[in-house]
Each structure stands twice: as structure tokens, then as C-alpha cells.
A and B are shown apart, each in its own frame.
Chain A
Amino acid sequence: MTQKYSLNVNGKVSTVEADDDMPLLYALRNDLGLNNPHFGCGLAQCGACTVHLDGQPIRSCITPVSAVGDSKITTLAGLGTPEKPHPLQTAYIEEQVPQCGYCINGWIMTAAAFLRDKKKPTDVEIKSALEGLKCRCGTHMAILRAVKRAAEMMG
């Protein structure tokens, strides 16, 4: 059933009208015009749609818009800007990580929450935190280098 929902995205509150079972992903992409995150699977298996809900990474492709409530949503665009980049964004550029780049949201948004909570992680801890995310181009080596670089930047 169509209802109005108030969404707080990247610090801005907007209203969308949507079915209660519509995943948040479509509200972000189509109603609010945010081109990230991406649709990868619609099954929470890949991470391409990852956003933060009150700072925690969630898969917006399976999160109904009706379940968001007052939570604050942060997308990749809200994580940092060219003027004020998040360390992971800086590290991604330095390490030249992506090929097609369609998977970026999953890795950066997941790693951002992980590195915020875990200082000086080991390689095993980094891999474990990112387990299950998909990159089809095979940029895994560069992803790990970038996350380590960002971890160092974040102390």
C-alpha cells in the first residue's frame, strides 16, 4: 500500500511516496535521484546497494522503506566529498582500486563502519569484516591495500 515516508538521507530530510514493501534502494535511486547505491542482486548477497543506517551498513535492496523510520541514512555520496574525503575514498583513489566500480558501495560503506569501530585491524580482521562482499572484476588485492591504507590514516 502506498504511503508517505520521511527519509533522512545524507543530512537532508525528504518525503517519498512508496509501497511499504518497496526496498529503500529504489527510493534512494529513483525518488531522491541518488545514483549510488547500485542494484546488484536484490538479495543482499553482493553489497552493491550498501548504505549506512545510523552508522551501520545495511543492504538497501532488501530493506523495506517502511522499516527505516527516523534512522539516518548515509550513502557513499554522503560519506565524503572531493573537498572533504573519507580516508577510504582517498585510499581508493591512491590505490586506484576499482575497475568497473559498480561494487564500490559495498566495500567502502562496510569498511567505513568497520574502521570506525576497529583501530589498527589485522589483515585477517579486515578480510573477515569484508567477507561475502562481491567484486567481479577481481580488484580484491587493491581493495585490501586501500582498506589497510585507510586504517593507517585513521590511526
Chain B
Amino acid sequence: MTKHQNSSAFSRRTILKAGGALVVSIGAPVSFDVARAADNATLAGTQPPLTPDQLSSYIAVKADGSVAAYFGKMDMGHGIGVAIGQIVAEELDVPFNAVKVFMADTATSVNQGGASGSTGIQDGGKQMRVAAAEARRVLVAMAADKLGVADDQLTVTDGVVQAKADATKTISYSDLVGGNYFNVQLDWNKKYGNPLYAPGKAQPKDPKDHKIVGQPIKRADIAPKVFAQEDYCTDVKVPGMVHGRMIRPAVAGAVPVKVDDSSIADIPGAKVVWDNGFLGVVADKEWDAIKASRQLKVEWSNATPPFPNQNALYDHIRNAPVRKREVEGKQAGDVDAAFKTAARVIEAEYEWPFQSHASMGPACSLVEIKDGKVTCWSGTQKSHFVRAGLAALLNVPEDTVHVVWKTGPGSYGRNDADDAAMDAAFLAKTVGKPVRVQYMRDQGTGWDPKGPASIHTARAALDDAGNVVAYDFLSKAFSRVDVDTNGSRPYDTLAGQTLGVDLKSGDGFGIPAESYEFANKRTAWETIPPLLDRASPLRSSHLRDPVGPQIHFASESFMDEVAAATNQDAIAFRLRYVRDPRDAAVIKAAADKAGWQTRPSPRKDQTGDKVSGRGIAYAQRNGTRVAVVAEVDVDRRSGKIWARKFTVAHDCGQIINPDGLKMAIEGNIVQGVSRTLWEEVKFNTKTVTSVDWMTYPILDITETPGSIESVLLNHPEIAPSGAGEPSTRPVAAAIANAIFDATGVRIRRVPFSPDNVKSALS
């Protein structure tokens, strides 16, 4: 349908009102927004502003009756787009295949927070659900007007409204509004990002009536991926584009003092972009840009090597000044007094290294600045925040910046994607051409923001009978937000930091998320300053389940230690102290499915080099509960661990798509095994030395668990919570506890690489 036809068809209508609100715009001339038209949405009428308080910002019914869902978050590989499509289709009573979800384009969606904290369904889906429900309410009201039948005497099936009493009285969504924007005001809570919430007047469906939500619908994006038909952010090209590469110092903190442009004079089109600590090159051809970045002669400032020796890392954390301390969670009693009168005190300390996102490919971004508009193609997790960052860096109004999200080369939090977008923007501005930047592997692994290293001390006070009467847990760590979790401010990106903006390092960590009740309980964290405050390859930020793996490695290993020290079964011990029924349920479900034999750890019935053991760990995460039973084989001679079998019980409230959930859990377990057994960012006093897959090894396919079994506890009556990260949280402790069960040796430092295990066992 052309826009002229659409407009003509619509102009024959009278203004339709429903629920007191003007439902659709009939304004002439028809205005098309270029960006929204780009998705082939043939939408006519005056477009309401793209603001969170407009229904049109989330839902559109196109001329052919199909539904566009504009989602301000994106899919990092867990199939969130399918779940959102299910939710929207469910509430609108249209077939699942009638819904197309458009993700995270700043020109078509509002800032719902991007991929963040496993909130895709928990927060993002919640909003899409109420928006779709409101769209249905409005459409039914319009139909009531048109058909002369009361709202409550109408039903909707596959996008067709029908009178209950007269099957001949029907009208389709397409006939009602197709091709025109909703013009319906929502009750927005004035918040952006994850907390954004803007319901209409409609009540979403009762979960017991759900037919599409809860179904194992498959992802439609897999086929284009396996047939090489999908453009990733790495694949976008625009006319006149040149290729950029960044140059980082060999000693972190050094800045260029002399750059010899003539050293790359023989490379066609090669140009240097140098401003303060920012140093990059561009060339017409990608290989030439790479060559230029390697060939350019640079004299660097004589920076003092900023880092301690790797083997002094944990001592550094122990001795470092505390920048911020927070006591969080449910505190109880007088912990210090309880320890003074304890019959027995158990105490342990745990250590977790810096870890890298080490995304499958280094980050890539393309930025074009043309006719007063900035367009950025990025694999970022936070396109709306990147828009703000680009506007600030380029000193242009935010509404002139358009960030197009494209699938990137893997992302598990605040990786290098936002840095690449900003670097590309600065290069593009400087050379006056569109610039595509992709980092090289050593930059992807060596210079991404790192998951923070930490130490954790846990103490338990026991009475004469062995009851836990006090628990004290403290993390001391680099901040999870030394650089913030999004690129909305230049000071949180390498471009801003190398260009010399004022710095603002944030403080944040976390505490164990569980429901253990002890008469006296204290959980706290302390953060320390970064090792290097500007443009550091060890700056720390969010990596999948930010700080969850490290905290729960410590807290759930420690619960196991207390159980073992008091000769109690690890599950019986936990069930004695957890208070939340859903927590107890996941623990029991995992134990049942795994065939857990009640007995204390360690096993005492094994001899020889090859031994095996089992371990449990559990955690909450923002409403979700997960218990993991790990069964591992330990080769005492080689130190090699095979995490052979996992049984995962998972409760995230209502399940939107059980197959999608299972796949998310599998990925989380495998990545969790990798982080537990192998991953540690290596560095020397000058810089990070983990720069590729040899120096930052991850789990190999030959070490894949033999099986991962999931028990999905569905609670349709409970609003869905997240599943993107929670199941990775207990993995390290479950493995550590299984190693203890097998060997009687407690390993308190990650990773459990063969060398580390061998030395722990000897």
C-alpha cells in the first residue's frame, strides 16, 4: 500500500474516539518518519512523539493487520525477541507470527534500558504486556463503536473483533486502525531505562487464559544466521566509508608524545588521528588500516608501570584503602557480640580474579556524520545510552543522533562495544568520513572493561550444639562500576578518557542473595580504587551476572564449609536455614532430580587418582531462584576437572518460553564452568597480558559437560523475573563443593585450572 492510498482510505473516516482518548491520528498531510518507515511499516497519520507515554512508541498495527512491537531492549542471544513477540501476541489476541519485534533502534523505540540485568522479560516484557493490552482495549472500544455492540460483548480472535451474539458482526484490527498510528496516552512513571513503566487503562490477561505465552516457540533469527544472511554490526557498510583501527600503549597509562605520520606514508589513504591520548588510524581498505596501525611509529610518554605483580593482586586488595563501604540486605542481631561468645568460629577467605568478556569477536561500530545527523551502527547492549554518549562526545543535540542496534560479536554486559562506538564517532568527526572501527583481538580481550577481582571473607559463629548463631560476610573488591554499565557519558569510555575528560569512577558491589536466617547476620561490601584511573585495561564494570559469580562462589562455598565442619549434609544444612519457600523448593527440586544421597561431605570411599564428587549451591537473583547440583570428576594426578553433570532447578516465576529458558540456562552453565575452571585475566606491571585465546583460555568443546538437566518450576501466577544470568551465579560454588566432596580439599581461589588444582591437592 502506498502512502497516498493509505491516506485516502483513512481520510474517509471520521475521528474515532475510544476511552476518551483520540485513538488514531488523521492529520494531513500524511507524515512519514524516515526511520520508522525503514522497517516497512506503512503507517500514516500524524506520528505522535516517540516518548514513553505514547502507545505508538510500543505498538503499531500495520495496514496488512500485522503488528509491530517496538522494544527498547535487544537480544544478546537468548531469544528475548521471541518472548516479547509471545507476550504482545497474547495480549492483542493475534497470531504469534503476526507480530514482528523491532529491537533497540533509537529511532523506533524508547529507552527501556537495553540488555541489562536479565530484565528483558522482567521489566521490558512487563511494559510490552501492558502496552499490548492497552492496544487491544482501544481496538475493542473502536470496534464497539463501529459495530454498535458493547465492549464486553465482543471477543477477539486472530486480530478480528467479533460480536459474541452475532458472528456476522466482525471487524479486523487492520480495518480499524491498520496503517495508522495509535494516538493514545499512557500513564508513564517518568522513568527511563529498566524501571520505565507506562500502563494504559487495560488490565492484562489472567495468566490462566494464556495460550501463546508459555509455548516453546522457536527463534526465527537462527535460519538467517546459519545461511549467512544476517548482517551483524560488523557487516554494515555505507558509501564513502573508511576503516579505522585504534592504537593502545604497551604500558597502560602512557600517552603518545610523538607520532610520525611519515611512517605510514606508503599506505594508500592512511591517516593518523591523534588527540591527547586518543590515537587511531584510518585507511580506505581494512587491511591497510590494520597495517597502518602496526606500522605507525609512536613515541610514548614514560609512564610508571601502574599494576602490581599478578601474584600480589589479592594482597593489594586486602591492603588497599576502602573507598566505599555498604552494609546491605536483611541484617539481624548483634554480629560482633555473637562472635565474642561463640563456642566455635569458622572462617574462610575466597578470591576471584579479573575476568574478560572476551567476546567472540572484538567490538565493531560504524559511525556516519552527514547533513547534521549522526548515525551509529553498534552491537551495544544500550543503544539509547550510546546515543547520549555520542551526543556528548560530538557536542551535538541528542535528537540528531540515531543508534541502530545490530547483532554484535557476543556480549555479556559492558564489554568493548560502547568504547568502539565512541572511538568510531571521534574518528568519523575528525576525518569527515564514515568510519568503521573494529578492534583487534588483543584489544578485545586486553582492553575491554573487566569483571572486577575480589576477595571475600566469611565467618560463622556456632553454639555448643553446632547451630549457626551468627554469620558475617564481607566482599572487598574493585568496583563493578569503575566505569559505568553504559556509554552515556564520555568519562566511562576509552575515547573520553584518552581525550582527557574529567573522570568519575563509580562504586558498587553486592552481597549474597539468599534467605538464610541466622539470629545475627551482617552482609557488606567494600570497594577500592582502580589500579589506574584513566584508560586502564583493568578498569572494571559489568560482566554477566555482575559480581554474582564471585560473591556466591564465596558465600555458597562457605555454607558448604560450615555444613562439612558440623558433619551435616550440604542440602539438609541449607534447608535448615533458608526461609523462603521458593528457595527451599529449588534446592529440593535439584536434589530430587539429581538423586542426591543425604550424607556429609567429603566422600570417604574413594582411592586412587580419579575421584568424583557432588556439590550443591543455590542463589536468588532479583526474584529468580536457582539451585545447581554439580557432579565432577577430578584427576588428582593432572589436576584436571571435568564438570560432568549439572542438574539445575530454576524458578523465575511465570515461564514465557520453556525452550528458550532451557537454552539460556545451558549457556549460563557452560559459560559459568568456563569462568570457574579457566578464566583469569593475566597482567604484568605494565599491562594486561591476556590478549587472545591462548593467553585467556576458555572452556573447550572437549571439556563440555556430559549433561545439563533443567527442572523448570513454572509459576504462572507470579510475574516473570529474569533468566538471562541467574543460573550462572551458583556454578562456581557447586563445582568447588563437588571438588571438596571428591577430594576433601577446599579450593578457595578461582580459576580451578589444572595447575591450580594440582597445587591445591598436593
Residues in chain A within 8 A of chain B (CB atoms): 18-19, 22-23, 26, 29-30, 34-36, 38-43, 45-46, 48, 75-77, 80-82, 85, 88-89, 92-93, 96-104, 108, 127-128, 130-144
Q: B410–A140 contact, CB under 8 A?
A: no
Range of interface residues on chain B? 35 or more
CB distance from B220 to the nearest CB of A (A): 10
Q: B360–A46 contact, CB under 8 A?
A: yes
Interface of B is mostly: loop
Instruction: Find B228's partner among A30, A35, A39, A142 (CB 8 Å cutoff).
Output: A35
In chain B, residues 404-451, which have Cβ atoms closer than 8 Å to a Cβ of chain A?
Answer: 407-412, 438, 440-441
With A76-B228, A96-B659, A143-B701 as known contacts, state yes or no: A138 contacts B671, CB within 8 Å. Answer: yes
- Which residue of chain A has the shortest Cβ distance to B705 in the bound complex? A141
Q: A102–B410 contact, CB under 8 A?
A: yes
Give Cα A30 to B235, complex, Å. Answer: 9
Task: Note all chain B residues with C-beta closer than 8 A to A38.
Answer: 232, 234, 360-361, 409
Task: Note all chain A residues with C-beta closer than 8 A to B441.
Answer: 40-43, 45
Task: Note all chain B residues with C-beta closer than 8 A to A144.
Answer: 701, 704
Q: List 15 A-B contacts (CB under 8 A).
A: A34-B228, A39-B361, A40-B360, A48-B360, A77-B228, A85-B226, A93-B223, A99-B76, A99-B77, A101-B221, A101-B222, A101-B226, A132-B700, A138-B672, A140-B701
Task: Note all chain A residues with C-beta closer than 8 A to B693.
Answer: 41, 43, 45-46, 134
Q: A48–B361 contact, CB under 8 A?
A: yes
Q: A100–B700 contact, CB under 8 A?
A: no
Interface of A is mostly: loop
Q: A127–B226 contact, CB under 8 A?
A: no
Q: B668–A42 contact, CB under 8 A?
A: no
CB distance from B114 to the nearest CB of A (A): 15
Task: Note all chain B residues with C-beta closer than 8 A to A39.
Answer: 234, 361-362, 438
Q: B667–A137 contact, CB under 8 A?
A: yes
Give Cα A43 to B704, complex, Å. Answer: 23
Q: B701–A133 contact, CB under 8 A?
A: yes
- Which residue of chain B has the shortest Cβ distance to A10 in the bound complex? B228
Q: A96–B222 contact, CB under 8 A?
A: yes
With A104-B226, A140-B701 as known contacts, state yes or no: A22 contacts B287, CB within 8 Å. Answer: yes
List 7 additional A-B contacts (Cβ < 8 Å) besides A128-B702, A139-B667: A39-B438, A43-B692, A45-B441, A100-B77, A102-B410, A136-B359, A140-B704
Task: Note all chain B residues with C-beta closer than 8 A to A40.
Answer: 360-361, 409, 441
Task: Note all chain B residues with C-beta closer than 8 A to A128.
Answer: 702
Instruction: Find A42's partner among B407, B440, B700 (CB 8 Å cutoff).
Output: B440
Number of A-B contacts (CB under 8 A): 171
CB distance from A63 to the nearest CB of B (A): 13
Give Cα A143 to B693, complex, Å. Answer: 20
Q: A81–B692 contact, CB under 8 A?
A: no
Q: A137–B701 contact, CB under 8 A?
A: no
Task: Note all chain B residues with C-beta closer than 8 A to A48.
Answer: 360-361, 409
Q: B694–A45 contact, CB under 8 A?
A: yes
Task: Note all chain B residues with C-beta closer than 8 A to A142.
Answer: 663, 666
Task: Note all chain B residues with C-beta closer than 8 A to A75.
Answer: 228
Q: Interface digits, B358-394 against A, CB 8 Å rule (1 contact, 0 not)?
A: 1111100000000000000000000000000000000
Instruction: Find A97's partner among B222, B229, B232 (CB 8 Å cutoff).
Output: B222
Q: A131–B700 contact, CB under 8 A?
A: yes
CB distance from A51 to the nearest CB of B (A): 11
Q: B222–A92 contact, CB under 8 A?
A: yes
Task: Note all chain A residues with C-beta closer than 8 A to B671.
Answer: 136-138
Q: B666–A26 contact, CB under 8 A?
A: no
Leading 7 A-B pairs by shortest Cβ distance: A99-B77, A138-B670, A138-B671, A77-B228, A36-B228, A35-B235, A101-B225
Q: Interface digits, B660-704 against A, CB 8 Å rule (1 contact, 0 not)?
A: 000100111111101000000000000000001110001111101
Task: Note all chain B residues with C-beta closer than 8 A to A36.
Answer: 228
Give Cα A133 to B699, complex, Å. Answer: 10
Q: B440–A30 contact, CB under 8 A?
A: no
Task: Note all chain B residues with C-beta closer than 8 A to A130.
Answer: 701
Q: A76–B361 contact, CB under 8 A?
A: no
Give Cα A38 to B358, complex, Å. Answer: 15
Q: B76–A93 contact, CB under 8 A?
A: no
- Which residue of chain B has the shortest Cβ distance to A140 in the bound complex? B704
Task: Note all chain B residues with C-beta closer than 8 A to A26.
Answer: 285-287
